Amino acid sequence: MTLDSKVPAGPIAEKWDRHKFQVKLVNPANKRKHTVIIVGTGLAGASAASALGELGYQVLSFCIQDSPRRAHSIAAQGGINAAKNYQNDGDSVYRLFYDTVKGGDYRSREANVYRLAQISVNIIDQCVAQGVPFAREYGGLLDNRSFGGAQVSRTFYARGQTGQQLLLGAYQSMMRQVDRGNVKVFARREMLDLVVVDGKARGIVVRNLTTGELETYAADAILLCTGGYGTVFYLSTNAVNSNVTASWRAHKRGALFANPCYTQIHPTCIPVSGEHQSKLTLMSESLRNDGRVWVPKKKGDHRPPNQIPEDERDYYLERKYPSFGNLVPRDVASRNAKQVCDDGRGVGESGLAVYLDFKDAIGRLGRGVIESRYGNLFQMYEKITDENPYEVPMRIFPAVHYTMGGLWVDYNLMSTVPGLHVLGEANFSDHGANRLGASALMQGLADGYFVIPYTLGHYIASTPLPKVSTDAEPFKEAKASVQDRINKLLAVKGHRTIREFHRELGRVMWDHVGMSRNAEGLQRALTEIPKLREQFWHEVSVPGTPDNLNQSLEHAGRVADYLEFAELIALDALERGESCGCHFREESQTPDNEALRDDEHYSYAAAWGFNGVGQRPTLNKEPLTFEEVHLSQRSYK
Amino acid sequence: MANMTLKLLVWRQPGPTVPGRLVPYTADQISPDMSFLEMLDVVNEGLIRKGEEAIAFDSDCSEGICGTCSLVVIGIPHGPQRGTTVCQLHMRHFHDGETITIEPWRARAFPVVKDLVVNRSAFDRIIAAGGYVSVNVGGAPDGNTLPIGKKTADLAMDSAACIGCGACVAACKNASAHLFVGAKISHLALMPQGEVERYERAARMVAQMDAEGFGSCSNEGECEAVCPKEIPISNIARMIREYSKALSTHRKWQWKATTSE
Amino acid sequence: MPPQPKIGQSSIGTKIVISISSFFLILFLLLHLAGNVLVFFGPATFNGYSHALIANPLLIPIEIILAVIFLIHIYKTIRMWVRNRGARPVPYARKEWAHHTSRKSFSSTTMILSGAVILLFVVIHLETFKFGPDYLVAGSGQVRDLYRLEMEIFSNPLTVAFYALVMLLIGSHLWHGVSSAFQSLGADSPRWKRTFRVGGRLIAIIIAVGFIVIPIWVYFAGGRS
Ligand SMILES: Cc1cc2nc3c(=O)[nH]c(=O)nc-3n(C[C@H](O)[C@H](O)[C@H](O)COP(=O)(O)OP(=O)(O)OC[C@H]3O[C@@H](n4cnc5c(N)ncnc54)[C@H](O)[C@@H]3O)c2cc1C
Ligand code: SF4
Ligand code: FES
């Protein structure tokens, strides 16, 4: 398949404006006649629903949670980037664009990233107008902080709850459209299949999670805004209901899946405390602005941290990266934490943690300042670990956090199935091989508020879309296949819990497809995953019935999809023989153990086509060309 | 600290129209480092292994921010620890051998779906009734056009911190939603962006709140005490002021005209 | 589209009506207490005061207004109470007080009961005094000797005990009620919060103690002549 990215011609700074002019428009009176299904109510989904509702489309909005306001975006803490240059510190659209392409280790599509940087400016305006209570300076203007290694202060934030406040803004705008009758919300619904009619995405099958009923809905276009697949690792910072199911089933219906191996490991999470754990907690990256990361110089040094003298501590990030210090990008910070732990210098009971120490910052700024900056994070840390981070250094360890990979989309955010658009974390588009801090919220809202209203209109205006009814054959077929899978899950009646399989899959993924990968480990994963899948379908116990709320059944369905999808991640990781961004192949590193890119062979997005479970998928390549940004080896020394 | 064994009394109710009851379970090998929900996961795994139906309960973020988790633990919504959702409540706050009752939020407006899961869509309908600023995408002025004093912004943020969990309703003897609605009305009334519609918003949201069947406020402040975000009841007082002004000036805005196109 | 609100019918409007009516009732109680305290100054002062009151042509209309306010207060609270009961049809198997900042108290949880007792008491009280035996002050013609009536009634220890008990309940009703009424009117700010709370309790104490002291004093001291 040749992948047409549909990037408009012209100089990069003009592409989007030209495109906006060239797209076809839908007559205002006709918008009412078009139905759009939006799956997901995170930043991407809620913003798209409100924007399209405002334009007059009939929007059907679906989410798993009991309320659209609870989508996983709500958990984002740190902030959202925008090239406002309010701080007069040299920021610009071009710089945000440049930083994002570089931060993504030159594995993203330039034109998309530029558009994202352009739009970032409007996002802040829109959110402020909605009443989002961003942090302010004493003079009443918006406050910014520097975040995740950026050398300018371009991050807007609302205490430690930026995601929540942005999502509430989008959710409220969407509920306004509910009030006006343009948006209908279907909460507690899980999309389990995509319906393709005459080659176009025309509907979905969802399970009503309260009644267990399978429902079908038809529309003129489908928007998947279903978030990332970090929970394939079992333990991650993602909300426990996050899943790949919607994307995966769309993939099975023909949508290509791009760069699944690009998974981001966040350096500052609370370490695992035991087998029972079901979820890891992120400690905002902003902590690295004031905290210093260290481990003991000696291996196996079990003294309490405060008894280890200064000269026996190794502030390894400051030592190795003098110019960025503790603020190196996420992938670099995570990998270094793993290295020192592999080296036997990790701390805490498990030896899988490093210290993040605020002693110097408290000494320099006073406890009050630290408290005002990070009070709620410190409190959360204490609640979970029962340790007081004002007195003893925090223990942190990397954890899976974000997935840059996702369904392949063109410049219009449309997948390879016509009519199926993919927004937010669920698509692969803008972050390349590594996402910069505070850029996911920006992307979700850019896609939903400012991109899709134009590109979707173009699709609808330029495509013949005869009415379809949910009685049509493809709907019946899709519904029957979903029913079949549910029956199969319930029929296994084994004795192992779903969680056991999920945990086991997570272990395989973390060990072999985690922070540091090599051919041998990936091969092992590729043999272990199908085995585990086989066992799952013979030994899993899914109690209960399908005709009411059955959380075991929900979880089982998601794990079953992960057991298929995980193979694709491993294969993609194996196929990509270079290191780039978060994808670190041990075979491809510089003499001082930094990631080594191979632009000659791997400067492409890998978009995989489904050929059946257990069958080798087809690799399609979208070549990445860089006209603006000069490719260089990233260095944060 | 050693592992614990706990006696649980869990509300099991197969469906909305079927009566429920408290069912005893034993939770074995509970580490003090577990969160309350992880403890329930352990119990559920035991049930699933035996082919029995797992206890249904809501959760998602496990970080105290999404407002999904909703358990009344030993008679207190979200359990006894101040300012903490039940997903952030850790087992070290319980002692070996303790009997723990676990019940769902109970309110007419929050009907039980199954076991410990309730339907809180009433909150969504209250927001739909006016909990927003009516701005379309596209026309917003520059974010710094209107300066907002830091104090005002912080105060608005205090109210905006509400996670919509409904613990306030669950704790209130009248199952009143005044704290939730008060927090939302306050957030938007305090921001200059919300100024234009503030009175209409208050009137409409309160009307919807009443229509959902929540009780009224007796000023006991149980809501504030269980609220995981420690939203103070001064938000309720502010709502009353907004509402009173709304009614005394209600000729100035038209009940219906502004809301339908 | 939520239904259009009717003033006074919404949950908030109801609370406002209840609070405003309660302020009149509290005001009445304070005036009543101030008048009653005159009993300490002997029969002449007390009967003089009560006669001036009874003889005032405005008394009847004021009494009617007061009765209406009282009835509104009762009607609104009962309706609200019924509605509030209905808001939680299935009770908790176990429900504890949340502590922390909660101001839940014996007083706040028994408002409807203390209110019911007060209503009952008011009926008895009116019957005893207002519509009680018409002793006249000797040689005055029209002047009622309420002083004598009071002395007689409070010579019975059971009556004194009953009054003291009810006054404690009134105190309890006000202990939560006064500051609650302020909050229900939206009067709350970090600056005034404490004042309202403490002030409300002070009023409750003054009223309860004031009304308790009188019967006890009568019983033990037997009045003055
Ligand atoms: C702890 C944490 C902190 C973060 N902090 C930041 C930050 O500070 N800055 C930043 O920029 N980014 C941050 N991120 C990343 C960012 O939050 C996410 O990438 C982003 O919110 C994703 O938004 P989304 O709209 O794409 O999807 P989500 O918010 O994940 O929403 C997914 C939606 O899809 C629905 N859904 C999923 N599957 C189905 C299905 N099968 N059927 C029906 N509905 C379905 C869900 O119900 C949900 O409504 C953070 C992430 C985490 C985990
Ligand atoms: S006010 Fe507090 S308790 Fe009530 S819904 Fe909001 S966060 Fe939950
Ligand atoms: S699960 Fe999100 S707040 Fe508890």
Q: Indicate the pLDDT class of residue B251, thresholds 50, 70 and 90.
A: low
Residue among A259, A245, A325 nearest A290 (CA) = A325
- The residue with greater pLDDT, C194 or A523, is A523
Percent pLDDT > 90 in chain C is 82
Contact assessment for residue A330 and residue A267, using Cβ atoms and an 8 Å cutoff: yes
Helix (H, G, I), strand (E, B) or coil at A186: strand
Give yes or no for residue A230 CB within 6 A of ligand 1: no
Contact assessment for residue A347 and residue A354, using Cβ atoms and an 8 Å cutoff: yes
- State the best of A130, A208, A349 to mutate against chain B, taking most chain B CBs within 10 Å: A130
* A84, A239, A552 ranked by CB distance to B60: nearest: A239
How far from chain centre, in Å, is Cα A53? 25
CA of B166 from ligand 2 middle (Å) equals 5
- The tokens describing B152, both together, are 């005002």
Residue among A563, A590, C182, A394 nearest B219 (CA) = C182
Of the given ranges (A348-357, A434-443, C135-144, C166-175), which has the lowest mean pLDDT? C135-144
| CB-count exposure of residue A188 (10 Å: 0-12, 13-18, 19+) | buried
Task: Give the pLDDT mean for B134-152.
Answer: 95
Task: Give the pLDDT mean for B228-241.
Answer: 96
Q: Tell me, what's the pLDDT at A594?
A: 86
pLDDT at residue A188 is higher than 70: yes
| CB-count exposure of residue B56 (10 Å: 0-12, 13-18, 19+) | buried
Main-chain phi, psi angles of A177, to 5 degrees: -70, -25
pLDDT at residue A286 is higher than 90: no
Task: Give the pLDDT mean for B242-246.
Answer: 92
pLDDT at residue B254 is higher than 70: no
Q: Tell me, what's the pLDDT at A597?
A: 96
- Host H or E run for residue A195: strand A189-197
pLDDT at residue B259 is higher than 60: no
pLDDT, tens only, B59-102:
999 999 999 999 999 999 999 999 999 999 999 999 999 999 99
Contact assessment for residue B229 and residue B65, using Cβ atoms and an 8 Å cutoff: no
Q: How far apart are CA A293 and CA A270, in angstroms?
A: 14
* Strand-pair partners of A314: A295
Contact B90 A171 (CB under 8 A): no
Q: Give CATH for domain A266-398.
A: 3.90.700.10
Q: Tell me, what's the pLDDT at B1?
A: 66
CA of A51 from ligand 3 middle (Å) equals 28
Contact A172 B136 (CB under 8 A): no
| Chain A residues with beta carbon closer than 8 angstroms to that of B33 | 273-274, 386
Residue C91 lies in a domain: no
Q: How far apart are CA B191 and CA A31, in angstroms?
A: 33
| Answer CATH for B4-113 from 3.10.20.30, 3.40.50.720, 3.40.80.10, 3.40.50.300 | 3.10.20.30
pLDDT, tens only, A563-584:
999 999 999 999 999 999 999 9
Residue C6 lies in a domain: no
pLDDT at residue B173 is higher than 90: yes
Q: Tell me, what's the pLDDT at B258?
A: 42
Handedness of CA B90, B94, B95, B100 (dihedral sign): negative
Q: Tell me, what's the pLDDT at A373?
A: 81
How far from chain centre, in Å, is Cα B179? 9
pLDDT, tens only, A497-509:
999 999 999 999 9
* Strand-pair partners of B107: B110
Q: How big is chain C by its Cα radius of gyration, in Å?
A: 20
Q: Tell me, what's the pLDDT at C5?
A: 60
Q: Indicate the pLDDT class of residue A593, thresholds 50, 70 and 90.
A: confident
Q: How far apart are CA A236 and CA A228, in angstroms?
A: 11
Residue C4 lies in a domain: no
pLDDT at residue A467 is higher than 60: yes
Which residues lie closer than 8 Å to C64 by C-beta, 6 or more apart? none
Q: Tell me, what's the pLDDT at A38?
A: 98
Task: Give the pLDDT mean for B231-257.
Answer: 80
Q: How far apart are CA C57 and CA B156, in angstroms?
A: 54
Q: Tell me, what's the pLDDT at A350?
A: 87
Residue among B257, B116, B156 nearest B200 (CA) = B257
Interface predicted TM-score of the whole assembly (ipTM), two decimals: 0.96
pLDDT, tens only, A307-338:
999 999 999 999 999 988 998 888 889 999 99
Give yes or no for residue A308 CB within 6 A of ligand 1: no
Main-chain phi, psi angles of A286, to 5 degrees: -60, -20
pLDDT at residue C47 is higher than 80: yes
- Host H or E run for residue A391: none
Q: Give CATH for domain A473-611.
A: 1.20.58.100
- Give the fold, CATH level 3, of B121-257: Fumarate Reductase Iron-sulfur Protein; Chain B, domain 2 (1.10.1060)
Range(s) within chain B of domains with CATH label 1.10.1060.10:
121-257
Place of tokens 């009634």: C153
Neighbors of chain A by Cβ distance (3+ pairs < 8 Å) = B
Give yes or no for residue B62 CB within 6 A of ligand 3: yes
Task: State whether residue B82 sits within 8 Å of chain A by CB.
Answer: no
Range(s) within chain A of domains with CATH label 3.90.700.10:
266-398
Contact assessment for residue A569 and residue A261, using Cβ atoms and an 8 Å cutoff: yes
Q: Tell me, what's the pLDDT at C224?
A: 61
Which residues lie closer than 8 Å to C148 by C-beta, 6 or more apart? C43, C135
Give yes or no for residue B60 CB within 6 A of ligand 3: yes
Domain range holding C209?
11-86+109-221
Q: Tell me, what's the pLDDT at C6?
A: 66
Q: What angle do CA A464, A465, A468 make, to 5 degrees?
A: 150
How far from chain centre, in Å, is Cα C189? 27
Which residues lie closer than 8 Å to A210 by C-beta, 6 or more apart? A188, A548, A549, B113, B119
Q: How far apart are CA A376 and CA B5, in angstroms?
A: 31
Residues with C-beta less than 6 Å from any ligand 2 atom: B 162-168, 179-180, 183, 227-229, 231
pLDDT, tens only, A7-51:
999 999 999 999 999 999 999 999 999 999 999 999 999 999 999
* Distance between first and last Cα of chain B: 63
Residue C79 lies in a domain: yes
- Give the fold, CATH level 3, of A15-264+402-462: FAD/NAD(P)-binding domain (3.50.50)
CA–CA distances in Å: residue A471 to residues A19, A195, A197, A308, A477? 37, 12, 12, 71, 10
Percent pLDDT > 70 in chain C is 95
Q: How far apart are CA B218 and CA A594, in angstroms?
A: 63
- The tokens describing C115, both together, are 């209110």
pLDDT, tens only, C123-169:
999 999 999 888 888 877 788 999 999 999 999 999 999 999 999 99
Q: How many structural domains compose chain C?
A: 1
Contact B53 A544 (CB under 8 A): yes
Of the given ranges (A40-49, A61-70, C73-82, C182-191), which has the lowest mean pLDDT? C182-191
pLDDT, tens only, A291-305:
999 999 999 899 999
Q: Check residue B250 and give left, alpha or beta (phi > 0: left; psi -120 to 50: alpha).
A: alpha
Q: How far apart are CA A568 and CA A247, in angstroms?
A: 13
Our mutation pick for probing the ligand 2 site, out of B72, B179, B214, B217, counting the most ligand atoms within 8 A of Cβ, is: B179
Main-chain phi, psi angles of A606, to 5 degrees: -90, 115
pLDDT at residue A598 is higher than 50: yes
Our mutation pick for probing the ligand 3 site, out of B35, B38, B41, B68, counting the most ligand atoms within 8 A of Cβ, is: B68
What CATH number is associated with residue C80? 1.20.1300.10
CA of B48 from ligand 1 middle (Å) equals 29
Q: Indicate the pLDDT class of residue C174, thresholds 50, 70 and 90.
A: very high
* C14, C92, C103 ranked by CB distance to B221: nearest: C103
Task: Give the pLDDT mean for B233-249.
Answer: 92
pLDDT at residue C100 is higher than 70: yes
- The residue with greater pLDDT, B3 or A150, is B3
Helix, strand, coil content of chain C in percent (nearest 5): 70, 0, 30
Q: Indicate the pLDDT class of residue A511, thresholds 50, 70 and 90.
A: very high
Which residues lie closer than 8 Å to B74 by C-beta, 6 or more apart? B80, B100, B101, C94, C96
Q: How far apart are CA B125 and CA B131, in angstroms?
A: 9
Contact assessment for residue B40 and residue B130, using Cβ atoms and an 8 Å cutoff: no
- Mean pLDDT over the full length of chain A: 95
C-alpha neighbours within 13 Å on the C-beta side of residue C64: 4
pLDDT at residue B260 is higher than 70: no
CA of A76 from ligand 1 middle (Å) equals 8
